[in-house]
Amino acid sequence: MTSPGTVVDGVLVDGIDVDLLAAAVAACPAVARLTAGPAGAGVYLPGRRVAGLAVRPQPGGGPARVAVHVVARAGVPVQEVAGQVRTAVAPVAPGSPVDVAVEDVEDVEDVQA
């Protein structure tokens, strides 16, 4: 979720384009999809919500902290998932600390179906 008091200007939250952020994460080969997870992570924008992301300002300023919640593809090590996500997020949110939560792993039977 965005923090209380966070100014939402179009799709920019604390200077980060959340639509680009979501697209960058979704394009990672190790990511099956973004997910709100049990905590209900998401960025609220006018008239819609982008699930699986949270953007929060840092105390004392600096780049916003980004949290990304994903479902990983079956067979991909969690460290690889996190590495791909951090690499994908870097150009969209330069300098931002990135927390990656792998909330679930894609079911192998779903992949084969």
Report, as ranges of residue numbers, the positions in the chain whose pLDDT lies below 70. 1-10, 109-113
Give the CATH number, domain containing residue 45.
3.30.70.1350
Would you state the pLDDT for residue 111?
Answer: 57
Whether 55 is covered by a domain: the verdict is yes
- Tell me how many domains the chain contains: 1
**Ordered alpha helix ranges (H), 1-113:** 18-26, 78-89, 108-112
Q: Which domain holds residue 71?
A: 8-112
Instruction: State how far the alpha carbon of 9 is from the alpha carbons of 24, 93, 104, 112, in Å.
Output: 20, 16, 32, 42
> Model confidence over 80-99: pLDDT tens digits?
999 999 999 999 999 999 99
Would you state the pLDDT for residue 78?
Answer: 96
Whether 41 is covered by a domain: the verdict is yes
| Reported pTM | 0.84
Would you state the pLDDT for residue 97?
Answer: 96
